Amino acid sequence: MSKGQVDALLGIVFGDEGKGKVVDFFTPHYDVVARFAGGPNAGHTIIFDGKKFVLRSIPSGIFDENKINIIGNGCVVAPDLFMAEARELEAAGYQLTERLHISRRAHLILPTHRVLDRAYEAAKGKSKVGTTGKGIGPTYSDKAARIGLRVGDIENDFAPKYEALKARHLQILADLGFTDFDITEEEKKWMEGVEYMRKFHLSNTEQEINRALAEGKSVLAEGAQGSLLDIDHGTYPFVSSSSTTAGGVCTGLGVAPNTIRRVYGIFKAYSTRVGSGPFPVELFDETGDTIRHIGNEYGAVTGRNRRCGWLDLVALRYAIMINGVTDLVMMKSDVLDTFETIRVCTAYRKGDEVTTEMPYDTEGWEAVYEDLPGWNTPLTDIRTEEALPQTFKDYVAYIEKATGTPITILSVGPDREATIMR
Ligand code: GDP
Ligand code: IMO
Ligand code: MG
């Protein structure tokens, strides 16, 4: 924690690294927790006291009643999904309206953005991105095209603005011949969601965050997705549509670069990816199925199978560089407990060419591996560094050496408690 400063917790691979768990674990040490990118494409799982929550738009600091949580300007919000998510938390006994603040500058995901998401995917044929279908791409496209609607728009004369953008979307859909949909019910819920959102502090969150920093308060910026899904630095075009990397913290919250102190880069002890796109370490064999099964690698939002593979050091080093990662956080170490040999990708090969740098086009590269011994010991109940098996410590030291970055937190199970600080 740093007083008067921002720390960031960023997924540095393809998302689903365990950001929700670690943000929840870190929250007691911060005053404010803020999401800076993405929307309901995220699914952040938090498990404590035998309860499990999956958050999409609401920051993972929400379970600490004393903290302010902010949905920043870099995010996109679907009022109907936000309402469902918030009501679930309210039903579980959490009071939200006083301490969940939403940026007026965050963009609104309309029901027709979701239809457009489906229409664009359908039109792509074989080169589908495999989006979450939440309307993320079309909403950020409208933002960039300067025709989007923002949360602040619901505060005055909203209906005509909504109707105008919807009409524009319907025209595009008609032009695409994508007309087989009915959003009547969805739209009703959506409008209900808009009314519901008025209960919350819709504020100029960039001012609020900077005021907090000036008062010496600390802010934790919660990433969504992962660095390789970043619109600029990811495996384009198989990416999401927002800035998921450290630069996105500044633009997505309105904080200056020199307010950021620590950058926690979170990754799993192996790799996963949901949706399409290059993934050189992907395992198509029984080992991949075993990792998926033990790691429960099925999407928190869509339920889709996550593609599984070994740890990719090429990707890790690249993401550490792009984000200025100061500390690594390694998750799901326990999933590899039973493997005799653990492989690590140290380079990519295409024909005679071998590279340790992330190439422009990651398509067609295969992984070059180094084999390391497994630890064959259950890690889940271990809570101290000293009690960890030496072979596992060697794996950790190997990654630290290969990346030049310390791993300061180890996660050995999904529960909040199954975390080792080093
Ligand atoms: P996020 O999107 O980065 O917040 O991650 P997700 O919630 O989508 O996916 C992470 C999954 O791994 C969730 O089901 C977590 O409950 C689970 N998880 C987190 N840390 C650990 C861990 O150390 N071990 C195991 N076995 N599961 C974990
Ligand atoms: P969290 O925050 C994993 C992937 C989708 C798809 C691509 C584009 O839980 O880590 P989109 O709907 O954003 O246009 O989809 O990005 N994707 C994620 N994969 N975790 C996520 O979020 C993701 N958010 C988007 O599967 O390949
Ligand atoms: Mg997730």
222: Cβ below 6 Å to ligand 2? no
* Residue with the two structure tokens 């400063």: 5
Q: How far is the CA of 114 from the centre of ligand 2 (A)?
A: 14
Residues 6+ apart with CB under 8 A from 160: none
Atom of ligand 2 nearest to the CA of 17: 10
Q: Which residues are catalytic?
A: 16, 44
400/389 Cα distance (integer angstroms): 17
21: Cβ below 6 Å to ligand 1? yes
Q: How far is the CA of 75 from the centre of ligand 2 (A)?
A: 14
Question: Which 8-state DSSP code applies to residue 75?
Answer: B
Q: How far is the CA of 133 from the centre of ligand 2 (A)?
A: 10
134: Cβ below 6 Å to ligand 2? yes
Atom of ligand 2 nearest to the CA of 132: 12
Question: Which of 229, 240, 331, 416 gets mutated to test ligand 1 (max ligand atoms within 8 A of its CB)?
Answer: 331
Q: How far is the CA of 340 from the centre of ligand 2 (A)?
A: 32
Question: Which of 13, 23, 45, 304 gets mutated to test ligand 1 (max ligand atoms within 8 A of its CB)?
Answer: 45
Chain centroid to CA 124: 24
Query: Angle at CA 180, nearest 5°, toward 80 and 158?
Result: 35
Atom of ligand 1 nearest to the CA of 45: 7
The length of the chain in residues reads 422
Q: How far is the CA of 19 from the centre of ligand 1 (A)?
A: 8
Contact (CB, 8 A) for 3 and 192: no
What residues sit around ligand 3, an ion, with C-beta below 5 angstroms? Answer: 16, 43, 300
Contact (CB, 8 A) for 268 and 276: no
Q: Which ligand is nearest to the CA of 272?
A: 2
81/183 Cα distance (integer angstroms): 15
274: Cβ below 6 Å to ligand 2? yes
Q: How far is the CA of 160 from the centre of ligand 2 (A)?
A: 32
Atom of ligand 1 nearest to the CA of 44: 4
H-helix or E-strand spanning residue 203: strand 201-203
Selection from 349, 131, 366 nearest residue 237 by Cα: 131
17: Cβ below 6 Å to ligand 1? yes
10: Cβ below 6 Å to ligand 1? no
42/36 Cα distance (integer angstroms): 12
Contact (CB, 8 A) for 312 and 273: no
Give the pLDDT of residue 271: 98
| Bridge partners (DSSP) listed for residue 46 | 53
401/260 Cα distance (integer angstroms): 25
Q: Is the pTM of this model over 0.95?
A: yes
Selection from 411, 380, 26 nearest residue 222 by Cα: 26
Contact (CB, 8 A) for 343 and 369: yes
12/330 Cα distance (integer angstroms): 11
242: Cβ below 6 Å to ligand 2? no
Contact (CB, 8 A) for 374 and 391: yes
Give the pLDDT of residue 300: 67
Nearest CA to ligand 1 atom 10: 18
Mean pLDDT by 10 residues, the chain (422 residues): 86 98 97 98 96 97 97 98 98 96 98 98 92 97 98 97 98 96 97 97 97 97 98 97 98 98 98 96 97 91 88 98 98 97 98 96 93 97 97 98 98 96 94
